[in-house]
Chains A and B, each alone.
Chain A
Amino acid sequence: MQESAPTIYVVDDDEGVRNSLRFLLKSVGLMARTLASANEFLNTYKPQQPGCLVLDVRMPGMSGLELQQQLNLRGAIIPVIFITGHGDIPMAVEAMQHGAFDFLQKPFRDQDLIDRIQRALERDARNRAALAQHERIRASFDSLTPREREVLALMTQGKPNKVMAAELGVSQRTVEIHRARVMEKTGAASLAQLVRMAMDLES
């Protein structure tokens, strides 16, 4: 489902700035995909594509801030690094309040941009790994039978097999079989890990 190489999207309406960013990133071995407007980005962007977004705050039509809001509405997790012109600090503050990863004022030191991009890509990879794990746990929990789910609930409450058997009106042997199935299906190595997985799903 995931394409492996992360993409650095650069969205800026200024062709000169756009091309220079692509050249700069290429000089350090980073491939950038440059786009001239927020709409072009929305038409291109696939949520499952890992990467980060370097976004000009001011653009005609949909501004960078508005694009950020659109992405927030869509639940996109791509980290956004804003690049702002002189005197756009209030806009940068607003962007940060809406969850921007970082911002840089034009013109910037190349190392500052490269460092931020690297950190944004790491953040994105972490977020995606956490999300993927969450999905895996959900899928494994979804595969449990109703009876196994009952056993899971009692397990996470720390109840011993004897108590479970009494509460469910089955033999201890049956409880043991259900327990083993739950551990097998969820891939949990220990009861502690199973409890953490259950908590992760609730959060």
Chain B
Amino acid sequence: MNANPKDSPQHVVGTPAEPPQSSGAEQRSHAPPAALHGRLLQVSRMATIGEMAAGVAHELNQPLTAIANYAQACSRLLSRPGTDPSELQQALAEITAEAARAADIIRRLRALSHSRQSDRAPVSVNALVREVIDLVESDARLHGVPVSLDLANELPNVLVDAAQIQHVILNFVRNGLEALASRPSGAGRLLIRTAAAPQYEVELAVIDNGPGITGEVAGRLFDPFFSTKESGTGMGLAISNTIARMHGGSVGYRPVLPAGACFYILLPGQASA
């Protein structure tokens, strides 16, 4: 519906401080200094991850609980004569597996929060989604929202900074989960979908079945410092917008019928070699 980047809101982070220009040098004049940009991204990324911390804490608590249970059971079994060592072996193997699971959660979190210089590489958007899906699911589970994936086959690769695009995904997911907070428990659904778009672009969309967004608000969604949330900084979608533009793409919003919202990012696909 909104495949042309020209149709999408064209706000850029930092616009209030810099009067818009209509000259041909628009793109350059809008770009914040690289250092500031990097810092802003980093702050935003940490903020998003901070918002997800409760989900991560909950997720880490599960393997820790399992480890504690197995260890306490082993200690009981050891104090009892005639315990079969193979029973202990089994529990110890489970402890090792649960510890690995905990380490894995931390590794994923670190990979995401790690400050990285923009390094672009050709990658499939589906792979980007799969890398963050555990984090997304831990956050969604905390909200009681099941997440489903609808990933298109045979999409062209995109040349992107993976961490930045994943930041956009997490940001869309956070927005979706917050929109679903008003739904009765168990009714919320979140869908992450990838699809081929016209003009050899790739669309990555996060769709919720929340109340959707009113027309008035929809027009300002990607404005910096615009937020409908009491605790929001208003920077999440604005930064997502900047990230998309830096990659020659765009972000947008469309309503979903009968109820819900769809946030998407369009990225130029690479011609297969």
Contact = CB atoms under 8 A, between A and B. Distances in A.
A154 B72 CA distance: 62
Contact of B69 (A24, A61, A85): A24
A16 interface: yes
A45 to B, nearest CB: 19
Given A20-B94, A23-B73, A58 B58 contact: yes
Nearest to A38: B186
B104 to A, nearest CB: 12
Interface in A1-30: 13-14, 16-17, 19-21, 23-24, 26-28
Contact of A86 (B61, B94, B186): B61
A107 B61 CA distance: 7
A16 B76 contact: no
Contact of B73 (A58, A61, A85, A110): A110
A66 interface: yes
Query: B-side binding surface: helix, strand, loop or mixed?
Result: helix
A107 B64 contact: yes
Contacts of A14: 62, 66
B58 A85 contact: yes
Contacts of B68: 107-108, 110
B61 A23 contact: no
A17 B72 CA distance: 13
A66 B58 contact: no
Interface string B54-81: 1001100111111111101110110000
Nearest to B98: A16
B61 A110 contact: no
Contact of B186 (A13, A61, A107): A61
Given A23-B94, A27-B73, A110-B76, A60 B146 contact: yes
A62 interface: yes
A46 interface: no
Question: How many interface residues does chain A have, given as a range?
Answer: 20 to 34
Interface in B20-77: 54, 57-58, 61-70, 72-74, 76-77
A49 interface: no
Contacts of A20: 65-67, 69-70, 73, 94, 98
A59 B66 CA distance: 17
B141 A17 contact: no
A167 B69 CA distance: 69
B101 interface: yes
B159 interface: no
Given A60-B146, A62-B186, A17 B77 contact: no
25 contacts: A13-B141, A16-B66, A16-B94, A17-B62, A19-B94, A20-B65, A20-B66, A20-B67, A20-B70, A21-B69, A23-B91, A58-B58, A58-B142, A58-B144, A60-B140, A62-B186, A63-B186, A66-B185, A66-B186, A85-B58, A86-B57, A86-B58, A87-B54, A107-B67, A108-B65
Interface of B: 54, 57-58, 61-70, 72-74, 76-77, 90-91, 94, 97-98, 101, 140-142, 144-146, 185-186
